[in-house]
Amino acid sequence: MEAWGAAVAAALSVWFALVLGLILLPSVVGLSLGISELYMTVLVKTLEWATRRIEKGVKKQQARMLKDSASNGIIQRVDTTMEKEIASLHRADFELSDIFYFCREGFEAIVEDEVTQRFSSEELVSWNLLTRTNINFQYISLRLTIVWVIGVLVRYCLLLPLRLTLATIGIHSMIVGTTLVGCLPNGSIKDWLSELVHLTSSRILVRALSGTIHYHNKENKPQKGGICVANHTSPIDVIILTNDGCYAMVGQTHGGLMGVIQRATVKACPHVWFERSEVKDRHLVMKRLKEHVADKNKLPILIFPEGTCINNTSVMMFKKGSFEIGGTIYPVAIKYDPQFGDAFWNSSKYNAVSYLLRLMTSWAIVCNVWYLPPMVREEGEDAVQFANRVKSAIALQGGLTELPWDGGLKRAKVKETFKEEQQKNYSKMIVGNGSSGNLSSGTEPD
């Protein structure tokens, strides 16, 4: 038993020495030894080979059908606005066929609406050798199966233990570091140490995910006293951004491990955590945010105005509260590459542990971050218009679909007032086209 224990201790010593020397220390100082670059090169070539093998085993017609279904969804929609569709029905009298447009719209919404599909994982055109994404392919060759088995062994037996080790070190360093820094008196030294702890811990956590991040237009990085707003795909968005700079974060309070991290980090940095359910607390948050923005020496605030995670394909409605604070807005677009791993967190389907396990058993996390030029609220522009303008800029830069829907529909039902507003819009368009002559008196349809 003593010999066995000594062997285990020696193996662990070698393991931690390799992790410390080859990964941990270089990540702390922001250096790379080229290991991750070599890994990504081999991975890309392997996935390209797998794609060719799949295409070789699938008929060209089936491949085209698969590609269309992956990119366009279950049904083919007509890219025509509701106003134009109803305008084409322009007649003096109502005909029964006029209802076909509304029937079609209803069927399309039932089969595949624009909202719920944004809360499920993005569909891939080609298989990335992860079992959980292999749902559309009927043909897999023997060679491909062997490569997949090797990939499972690499991901679970080599990468997973390594990533768990780095994640444990990164989380503990953040909790312990911010707790110790929080004991210091407020001042420049405390602020500098706080930024150092956040930056170092984030770099370690990015390595724990085999993260490859490409930052663009760094001259537009958020400045102190400003507000950074970004589209939201995953909780790791915070780590992705903090890896390149420090922020004062705003978000909902959590329990469990996330709550421990929140309570520790707020001691060293003026983060703002709030309870969504308490209206008074939200007013207090707005007051604190305005005070924070007024101090040009404080870190930029990081806010995700969507309020929930969207599946890396779209940007949904930005809550106007973030744009009522005042100050300069620094938009940031984040786009993940789904070929290497799915970063989207479907919180209604996976808990935090399951989600992190999926991340750590993926090939890697690869994403692009674009810093957009700063934006300010224009004269005569209300908060909603300003929010929509910022959202459009982020969607355009990130190649994301811009949607007007509230991300809160992920868990809540559509408000009755919104339904009534849509019914009014229908009636106004129909009356304007003369297709419902009896409605001209102003009576709205049921």
Q: What percent of the chain has pLDDT over 90?
A: 13
Helices (H), ranges, 233-278: 237-242, 256-268
| Residue 38 pLDDT | 85
439, part of any domain: no
Helices (H), ranges, 73-159: 82-87, 100-111, 142-153
170, part of any domain: yes
Identify the weakest region by mean pLDDT among 56-60, 179-183, 199-203, 263-267.
56-60
As a whole number, mean pLDDT of residues 219-235 equals: 90
Residue-averaged pLDDT of the chain: 77
As a whole number, mean pLDDT of residues 300-306 equals: 90
Per-residue model confidence as pLDDT tens digits over 108-139 = 666 555 666 666 777 676 777 886 665 455 45
As a whole number, mean pLDDT of residues 43-49 equals: 86
146, part of any domain: yes
Count of structural domains within the chain = 1
27, part of any domain: no
372, part of any domain: yes
Per-residue model confidence as pLDDT tens digits over 321-374 = 888 887 889 999 999 998 888 888 887 777 878 888 888 899 999 999 999 999
Q: What percent of the chain has pLDDT over 70?
A: 68
52, part of any domain: no
The residues, any chain, with a CB within 8 Å of residue 173's CB and separated by 6 or more, are: 197, 200, 201, 204
> Considering the entire predicted model, what is its pTM?
0.76
As a whole number, mean pLDDT of residues 198-221 equals: 90
Range of the domain at 248: 142-410
Strands 329-336 and 365-371: antiparallel
Identify the weakest region by mean pLDDT among 9-23, 210-224, 303-317, 369-383.
9-23
Which range among 8-22, 392-406, 409-423 has the greatest average pLDDT?
392-406
As a whole number, mean pLDDT of residues 233-239 equals: 90
Model confidence at 289, pLDDT cuts 50, 70, 90, reads: confident
The answer to whether 442 and 425 are in contact (CB under 8 A) is no
391, part of any domain: yes
Specify burial of residue 17 (Cβ count, 10 A radius: 0-12, 13-18, 19+): exposed
304, part of any domain: yes
